[in-house]
Amino acid sequence: MNRADWREAVRAQMPRTRWEHTLRVVDTAKVLAERFGADVEKAETAALLHDYCKFWPVGKMRRMIWDKGLPRDLLEHNTELWHAFVGAEAVREELGVGDDEILNAIRYHTSGRPHMSLLEQVIFVADVIEPGRRYPGVDEIRKLAETDLERALLQSLDNTLRFLIDRCQKVYPLTLAARNDLVDRVH
Ligand code: DGI
Ligand code: FE
Ligand code: FE
Ligand code: FE
């Protein structure tokens, strides 16, 4: 499969609005990769594939988590987290993506994790600041992403944590660990 085949494969998984989000994440990820010195081609690929499973039925994702030995604790947390872990597995099996840096950028694009690589940070931040995003605080994250990728990422994680806490929702432990790691890193 080449890049054009991947584009069609991704497009077939999702409604048009999500495909347009994907294209905006690709553009944003390329800009961030150039700005901060990440591999631009890997950023482009990871961004293209990052939401591959976003519209898969929950039952199909749950089966993948069981069958492929993905982290079992996901089953006790928000289903919004699942498409990232399942997505990494699915693009490896269905599209033949073998690059672990790309797969990790997909796998951790929602939860984050401690010690995120530059590519993982680029994809995470591109996803939350792409120009179609509208939520309180997005402009502050965009501003930070002009100069400091880690501060942008920390600000985004803090936003998400506040969002979850305000709604009395659980926090996936990896997200909290990602946030604590970044507090150490930016100081
Ligand atoms: O797939 P997208 O909509 O483009 O964006 P995403 O993959 O970042 O989806 C994230 C959603 O998941 C976000 O709106 C908040 C929700 N969520 C639920 N529980 C958690 C969580 N996000 C994080 N980081 N950690 C959680 O525990
Ligand atoms: Fe996503
Ligand atoms: Fe995200
Ligand atoms: Fe996304």
Q: Please identify, by atom number, the ligand 1 atom nearest to the C-alpha of residue 170.
A: 27
Check if the beta carbon of residue 106 is closer than 8 Å to that of residue 94: no
- Which of 141, 160, 169 maximizes ligand 1 atoms within 8 Å of its Cβ, making it the mutation to test the pocket? 160
Looking at residue 1, its pLDDT comes to 78
> pLDDT tens string for the chain (187 positions)?
788 899 999 999 999 999 999 999 999 999 999 999 999 999 999 999 999 999 999 999 999 999 999 999 999 999 999 999 999 999 999 999 999 999 999 999 999 999 999 999 999 999 999 999 999 999 999 999 999 999 999 999 999 999 999 999 999 999 999 999 999 999 8
The sign of the CA dihedral 143, 175, 39, 10 is negative
Closest residue to atom 23 of ligand 1, CA basis: 111
Closest residue to atom 25 of ligand 1, CA basis: 111
Whole-structure pTM value: 0.97
* ipTM higher than threshold 0.85: yes
The DSSP H or E segment spanning 86 is: helix 82-95
d(CA 17, CA 67): 30
Q: Which domains does the chain have, with CATH numbers?
A: 3-134 (1.10.3210.10)
Question: Integer distance in angstroms from the first to the last C-alpha of the chain?
Answer: 43
